Structures are given as structure tokens and as C-alpha cells.
Amino acid sequence: MKTLRLTLAAALLALTCGAAAAQSTLRIGLAEDPDVLDPSLARTYVGRIVFAAFCDKLFDIDAKLNVVPQLALSHETSADGKTVTIKLRPGVKFQDGEPFNAEAAKFSLERHLTVAGSFRKPELAAIDHIDVVDPLTIKIALKSPFSPLIAALTDRAGMMVSPKAAKAEGDKFGLHPVCAGPYKFVERVQQDRIVFEKFQDYWDKANVHIDRVVFLPIVDATVRLANLKSGGLDLIERVLATDIKDVRADKNLKLATALELGYQGIDINVGKGDAAKGPLGQSAKVRQALELAIDRTALNQVVFNGEFVPGNQWVSPENPYYQKAFPVPKRDVAKAKALLKEAGVTAPFDIDFMVPKGAETQAVAEVVQAMAAEVGINMKIRVTEFATSLKQAEQGNYQAFMLAWSGRTDPDGNTYIFFKTGAPQNYMGYKSPEVDKLLDEARVPSDFAARKAIYEKVTKLALEDVPKIYLYHRRILIAHTAKLEGYTQMPDGLVRVVGLKLK
Amino acid sequence: MTDAPFTAALLKSADAVESPLRRALRRLMRRKGAIFGLAIIVLFLAIAIFAPLLTPYDPIVQSWTAVRKPPSALHWFGTDDLGRDILVRVFYGARASLMAGVISVGIALAIGVPLGLAAGTLGGFFDALIGRLTDAMLACPFLILASALAACRGPSLGNAMIAIGVTTTPIFVRLTRGQVLAVNVEEYVAAARAIGNPRWRIALVHILPNILPALLVQATLSIAAAIIAEASLSFLGLGQQPPDPSWGSMLNSAQRFLINAPWMAVWPGLAIFLTVLSFNLVGDGLRDALNPREN
């Protein structure tokens, strides 16, 4: 009898194991542990990757940055630019079974605007109020025309949350998030894993082929790649540029890339506190000299094996908004020295160069340092922990600051908050009434050519004043096993799981 | 007078005329490990002092055509991610490491020994106060103190040395105080007191010389720990600032290339390993050689 029972138990065990093995799991290696999983409160890039698995947005983007429908079907802006009407997709359910409709959309947008500590508030600040027209239509009334709105709705600001769950959980919603995406939240163990399982009532469930998605934060890029190679992971983000050769040489791996929407650059303190009072902060000529001292092509070659794209504007040379009239300048040491002389500066002089911690960033900083030294600008590197560096930048406690921006689909997201006088990320203390006026103007038209013409003027002014030196644009580098099929990379750097298959 | 604690041992010893110092040296030289350690330390000291004469390369000049080249006749240890010769960077890194080791332990000795001496000889309230203070300091993790210091004074090798020195101090306070209490009851101290010597004189002339052996051993071992600490801080970006080389920061930049360019990590790693091992071997050797109960 006892033997029989044991055999039965063993058989049962084998059966359950068999069932578990049949369930497919996609394991994704992240470079950091994400912050809170509440679309209103989240602020990290890595968090956006996780959201893409479980939180659908009103709109999405395609590979060419066109806005395409997701939870919304269409949008229409009134002639005066002050009303946007959005038609919603019918038959959509949240992961708790609640229906997605105009009331829910209004609730989600209002939550982004009102919840304490919301990082979406500035992105949606132009919204005056939202009206429900019918169960599947909302009308957004704007305080003033704001063409970047739809682009904002392709990201976290467009994420819809279940009103019932959001009301019940309050400020703890991020611990048990409920959205309308392809996977639903199961559990999260801080610094270890975030588990999702297939949502059976997803509106596009025919295209969801994998049962579970697990996100595993592994900070060290080399370790992440080793895990992918050994089969411990199926997909990893942020492969090092210097490992690209390695990934391409491995026939079990595939590399998916897209050029980022953001940039890597150097902020220069031109108007924040005493640190701005040096020659670099006071004279545009000195800043131009620093820019001319830098050989962006060599920098890219040395640190990134030439895999990234040198750039001199807030969008990459491949972006439709890139201004071709202002190409990437070549290094010119003689001209740089002449500019320093014109500015009446005696070289060499010291610059306090704040550099956020990180091996790649530090390597870039050291190359810039060596290049600048040749024209007599002595960049004294001060390695600072990232969060601290942002705080010091806010206080103006730096002269030059290496800073990256992950980028937005709309050019407004790469310019307004950096150049507008007093804007939150204007760490440079840049003040230009002309630029301020142009930035506001660029928010009005929704026509591409008209906006590009305005941004051309902004580009000219910004490149002359040089409050920021743009260096290069990274490639988003995602590596996955050859067993994973159907993966394509979008320029926003997110990992989209709908349509993926595991062989 | 100063060699009083050894007197008893000396009388029993066959060669009664040998001075304690000579005897300690003789014993030290019998230990192969200690000799090996001493040789390595002397070698690294020589490298640190004569670094500019030993190689034609500059530790901070980058060569963008020779990035991450494996060891060759031209670059014996290979080149790093910015095309700098790793051999010369390891040489200059020895300066940072040895300096950090010696200076931070020097700071700890300079603060810790006087405090320990005072606490041990004065006793009472002052002793209790110092005791609580050292307890509090021991409770504060070294990395947290170092990060706090870097945050308010800016990261630099100097600040790293201060942080290491300050966190090493309580060890010396406690050791000194304990030794003072042990020696305080010796007859020669009682004798010195009986003659009417002031307390400071007893502490400095009669007690301090007799507790030096223990301090010497602890200092040597602490240097090893301080070198590791400096490497850790530089690895984290809180110590030596780029472009100046330090073994820790070299390891940090090598981290990304463990698979593609392992030589970037091997040499600084080996250098840290060898110096720390050497200081530990010498420390162990000294402890045995200075132990009066052992022959």
C-alpha cells in the first residue's frame, strides 16, 4: 500500500513537472531593478521596459516613429488646436475583469494629473479637463494648443490603469498594478525577479504566444551576457557596444538594434551660481573651443568600437527632425586655440567636470579630458554617484556635467525641459528669451514642416551659445537567443512582448 | 629599562647578551614567508619610487590606435580600454596603494595611540568616554563613512585615506588601551611610579616603548587592510580620480572587458593580491618574532 502511494505521488510529481515544462517562459535580463510599477510615479527607463509587458497605452509608435493605435483607435485635433477627440478600442478589459471605456480613460488621465508625486503631470500639463462624449470617446480640452500631447500618450502618460484597483490600492497601486496589457502581474521580489503571466482576456490575445514573462535584474553587463549565453536568460537589454562582435559571432544569439531617441552630452553651467562664473560659463567662444577640441568620431571608435553614432544635436542624424544645415563639426585644435585667444583666456585652465559613476561614462569622460587638454582646457573629472550628481546639477555645483537623456518621440521632449528658462532639467541655467519664445511656438502647429522650421532656429541659437555639447547617440542593443522569434526593436528602447514566440 | 619585559626571558636564554631587536630580527629571518613578503614589499616600494625611470610610457597619455591590445613585446602587460600601457599604470598604481596604506595607518596611529594611552593611564570618566566613542565608531561601517566623506568633501585619494585612517583608528585605541592596562601592573611601572614620575612621563617613557611590538604587528596587518580598502574605494569611484591610475579603478574599468580583454583585470588584481599577501606575511612573521614567550 505504501509503495503504491509513493508511486502515485511520484507519478503525480512527474505529471506536474511535465506540465510546468510545457509552459513557456520568457526570461529577460535587466540592467537595473526597476523603480515603482505605477505608471504615474515611475521615472526610470528600465521600468518602462517592464511596463511594456503589462500596461498598454492609448497609442504606440512604429519603427518610423509614426503614432499607431493601441487602446485608442484614432485621434483628432480641432482646428484651433485646443480640443483633442480620442476614439477608444471596444471590447477591452483590464486584468481584474473591469471594462476599459471612456470613464476609465478619463480616470487614468486624471490620475496621472492629480496623484501625489506624479511624474506624468508635466507631460500632461496642457490638459484643462477631460469630457466623456460616449462610452468609447473622450474629448480632451487643452489650456493652449499642445501638439506633443499625442506623442506623450504613446508612453507612460498614455498608460491606462483599472479604476477599481487604483481606487482600492491608493498609493500602493505600484505593488499590485492592474492594467490592460498582454501579461498580468503575479509577484515581485525586490532585486530578484518580477513575474507576469499571460492575461487570458487580452484584446489582442491571438498574438500572445508565451505563457510567462520573468524580469531578472542583473547589474553587470558581462554577467548578463554570460547568462544569456549559458541559457539562463532568453533576452538581455543594454549589451555593451564592445561586446557586439562577440554576440554577432555566436550563432545561438541574435542582436536587435535601433538608434536611440536621446543623446549623450555635456551640460555646461552657464548661469547657475558661482560655478558659472569661470571662462567656460561666461564665454560662448570658450564653449565653442571645447566643442571643437572633441573628436566625436575618435571618441566613438575608442570607447564603443565605432558602433554608436556621433551627433551634435538633440536628435540623431537619422531622425527626421535633424537639421542638416548644422552638420557634426570636425575636430579643429588650431581653431579652438584661436577661439580661446579671442576670448582672452589664458590656457591652461581648470574645469570642474562632474561625471556620473559608470565605467562607460567614465571612459568617455577620460577621452574628452585627453582631447580638451590638447587645447589647454584641463577638465578635472569628479566621479559622482548618479542621484547625487543630479542633485548637485540642480544646485549648480558643477562646471561641466556628463549627462544622458533617453529621449522622447517628439522633439519637444528633448528640448523644452532643458532649454526653457527655469525649466526643471535646465541644469545649465540657460536663459535666452528668443529660445523660450521659439520653444513655445513649436508647441502650436501639428504640421511637421512648420515645426521643423521653428526647431531650425532653436538649433542655430543653441549651437552658437553651446550650453550643451552633444556627443553621440547610443544604439539600443538587445541580444536574445535564436530560439526567440519575431523580435524587432523600436527606437524607444522598449521590449515589446506581443507577437514573440519561443521555439 | 625599556627592555624590562624581556629580562626574564633573556636570563633563561642561552645567549643572554643578544639584544631583543636583534633576536626579533633573527627570528623573523628564519621565516620564509616573512622574507618573501618583505622582498615583495621592497620590490613594490622600489617600483613606486622609481616608476618614471622604469618605462618609456606615460600612465595617462592615451593612444587611440592601440586600444585593448593583448600583452606584447611593446606593451608587456597589454593596453587598456583607452590605449594606455597597463604595466606603467600598475607601476604608478603602486604609488597610490602604498601611499594610501602607509598614510592612512599613520593617521590611525597618530590619533589612536595617544587616545589609547590616555584612556589606559588616566582611566575613570575619560576612559569610559573614549570607550563609548570607539564603540560608536566601530558600529559605523567603513564604506558608509567613506561615501559620506566623499559626498561632503568630494571624492579624492586624500579623502579616501582620511576615511580609511579614521575607520582604522578605533582598533588602535583599543589595542593601545588594552596593552597599557596589561603593562601598568608590571613592577617596573610600579617602580617608576614610586620614584614619583609624573603620569605623562610614565606613559611615554615607560609604557609606550614596551607596547610598541604589539602596535607594530597591528600596523603591518592594518596596512594590508588599508590597501584593500583603497582599492575598493577607487573601484567605487570614491578614491583616486581619473585619469590617475589606481589598482582599484583599473579593475573597475576592466570589469566590462573580462571576456574580451582579461589582461586588463589580471595585472592590477595580481598586484593587489601580492602586496596584501606580503604585508600579511610580514605581519604574521613579526607577531611570532616579537612574541617573548616563543623561542
| Domain range A2-55+181-255+485-502, its CATH number among 3.40.50.620, 3.40.920.10, 3.40.50.300, 3.40.190.10 | 3.40.190.10
Secondary structure (DSSP) of A158-216: GB-B-HHHHHHHGGGGGGS--BSSSEEEEEEETTTEEEEEE-TT-TTGGG---SEEEEE
Radius of gyration (C-alpha) of chain B in whole angstroms: 23
Does the pLDDT at position B1 exceed 70?
no
C-alpha cell at B10: 633573556
Q: If we measure between CA atoms, which residue out of B24, B262, B232 comes closest to residue B146?
A: B232
**Which chain B positions have a beta carbon within 8 Å of A380's beta carbon?**
241
For residue B294, pLDDT over 80 is answered with no
Higher per-residue pLDDT: B154 or A452: A452
Q: Across the A/B interface, how many CB contacts are shorter than 8 Å? A: 75
| Contact check, Cβ <8 Å, B253/A362 | yes
Give the class (CATH, top level) of A59-165. Answer: alpha beta
Is B151 near chain A, with CB under 8 Å? yes
Domain locations in chain A as residue ranges: 2-55+181-255+485-502, 59-165, 263-473
| B155/A382 touch (CB, cutoff 8 Å), yes or no | yes
Q: What is the DSSP letter of A489?
A: -
A246 touches chain B (CB under 8 A): yes
Consecutive H or E run containing B160: helix B157-184
For residue B22, what pLDDT band results from cuts at 50, 70 and 90?
A: confident
Option in B238, B241, B257 nearest A242 (CB)? B257
pLDDT: is B18 or B90 the higher one?
A: B90
Residue A499: left if φ>0, alpha if ψ -120 to 50, beta else—which one?
left
| Phi/psi of residue A148, nearest 5 degrees | -70, 0
User: Residue B82: which of A240, A367, A388 has the nearest Cβ?
Assistant: A367
DSSP letters along A1-43, please? -HHHHHHHHHHHHHHHHHHHHHS-EEEEEESS----S-TTT--
- Look at residue B145 and tell me whether its pLDDT is greater than 90: no
Contacting residues for A432 by C-beta, under 8 A, at least 6 apart: A419, A421, A461, A465
Say yes or no for a CB contact (<8 Å) between B242 and A366. Answer: yes
All three cell numbers of A382 = 569628479
Residues of A within 8 A of B147 (CB-CB) are: 385
HSE-up of residue A455 (Cα within 13 Å, Cβ side): 25
Calpha distance A464→B214 (Å, rounded) = 66
Cell of B276: 596584501
State whether residue A365 sits within 8 Å of chain B by CB: yes
User: Measured between alpha carbons, how far apart are the two ends of chain B, in Å?
Assistant: 22
Q: Which residues of chain A have pLDDT under 50?
A: 1, 15-20
Q: Per-residue pLDDT for B116 more than 70?
A: yes
How, if at all, do strands A59-61 and A67-69 pair?
antiparallel
Q: Which of A246, A363, A388 sits opposite B259 (nearest CB)?
A: A246
Contact A298 B151 (CB under 8 A): no
Report whether A107 contacts A160 (CB < 8 A).
no
CB of A303 within 8 Å of a chain B CB? The answer is yes
All three cell numbers of B37, joined, read: 613578503
Q: Is A60 helix (H, G, I), strand (E, B) or coil?
A: strand
| DSSP annotation of A50 | H
pLDDT reported for residue A19: 46
Best of A294, A362, A392 to disrupt the B interface by mutation (most B CBs within 10 Å)?
A362
**Domain presence at residue B194:** yes
- Is the CB of B192 inside 8 Å of chain A's CB atoms? no
Rounded Cα distance, A45 and A474, in Å: 14
Domain that holds residue B148: 30-56+78-289
Which one-letter DSSP state was computed for residue A100?
A: P
CB of B178 within 8 Å of any CB in chain A? no
Distance from CA of B252 to the nearest CA of A (A): 7
Contact B256 A384 (CB under 8 A): no
Q: Pick the residue from chain A with its C-alpha nearest to B65.
A: A302
From chain A, the residues in CB contact with B151 under 8 A are 385, 388
Closest of B224, B219, B212, B217 to residue B41, by C-alpha: B224
Chain-chain contact of B67 with A222 (C-beta, under 8 angstroms): no
Chain centroid to Cα A488, Å, comes to 17
Distance from A371 to chain B by nearest Cα, in Å? 10
Per the CB < 8 Å rule, is A369 touching B243? yes
Closest to B82 (Cβ–Cβ): which among A220, A363, A384?
A363
Measure the CA–CA gap between A120 and A47, rounded to whole angstroms.
Answer: 14
Q: Which residues of B touch A382 (CB under 8 A)?
A: 154-155, 241
Within 10 angstroms of residue A349's Cβ, the number of other Cβ atoms is: 14
| pLDDT value at residue B26 | 87
Report the interhelical angle of A296-304 vs A359-373 (nearest 10°): 140
Task: Give A363's contacts in chain B (Cβ within 8 Å).
Answer: 81-82, 253
Q: Decide if B71 is inside a domain.
A: no
Residue A54 contacts residue A196 (beta carbons within 8 Å) = yes
* CB contact at 8 A, A142 and A82: yes
| Structural domain total, chain B | 1
DSSP 8-state code for residue A58: S
Summary mean pLDDT of chain B: 89
Euclidean distance between CA atoms B140 and B233, whole angstroms: 16
Q: Which residue of A has its CA nearest to B60?
A: A370
Asked whether residue B127 is domain-assigned, the answer is: yes
The partner residues of A254 in beta bridges, in order of sequence, read A480
Whether A272 and A428 have beta carbons less than 8 Å apart is answered as yes
Quote the CA–CA distance of B267 and B262 in Å, as a whole number: 9
- Interatomic CA distance for residues A46 and A68, integer angstroms: 23
Q: What is the dihedral of CA A221, A359, B55, A375, to 10 degrees?
A: 140
In this structure, the strands spanning A484-485 and A475-481 are: unpaired
DSSP helix/strand/coil, B205:
helix
Q: Is the ipTM of this complex over 0.85?
A: no
Question: In this structure, what C-alpha cell is assigned to residue B279?
Answer: 604585508
CA distance A169 to A159: 17
Question: B124 lies in a domain?
Answer: yes
Q: 3-class SS at A309?
A: strand
Smallest Cα–Cα separation from B6: which of B31, B24, B27?
Answer: B24
Identify the CATH number of the domain in which residue B82 sits: 1.10.3720.10
Domain membership flag for residue B10: no
Task: Report yes or no: A284 at the B interface, CB cutoff 8 Å.
Answer: no
DSSP class of A57: B
- Bridge partner list, A349: A377
With contact defined as beta carbons under 8 Å apart, do A148 and A158 qualify? no
Which residue type does B266 have?
V
Is A41 within 8 Å of A119 (Cβ atoms)? yes
Q: What is the DSSP letter of A255?
A: E
CB contact under 8 Å between B241 and A362, yes or no, is no
Query: Does residue B254 lie within any of the structural domains?
Result: yes
A242 interfacial to chain B (CB closer than 8 Å): yes
CA distances from A10 to A6, A22, A42 (A): 6, 18, 46
Closest Cβ–Cβ partner in B64, B147, B241 for A302: B64
Q: What single-letter amino acid sits at A23? A: Q
Burial of A464 (0-12, 13-18, 19+ CB in 10 A): exposed
CATH code for the domain defined by A263-473: 3.10.105.10
In this structure, are residues B253 and B265 in contact, taking their beta carbons and an 8 Å threshold?
no
Rounded alpha-carbon distances, angstroms, from residue B38 to A165, B102, B260: 69, 15, 35
* Exposed / middle / buried, residue A64 (Cβ in 10 Å: 0-12, 13-18, 19+): exposed
Q: Which amino acid is at A401?
A: F
**Min Cα separation B57/chain A (Å):** 16
Please check the confidence at residue B8 and state whether its pLDDT lies above 70: no
Rounded mean pLDDT of B212-237?
94
pLDDT at A122: 87
CB atoms within 10 A of CB A246: 17
> For residues A340 and A283, is the Cβ–Cβ distance under 8 A?
no
Helix B157-184 and helix B142-153: axis angle, to 10°? 140
Q: Is B109 helix (H, G, I), strand (E, B) or coil?
A: helix
Rounded to whole angstroms, how far apart are CA atoms B123 and B138? 21
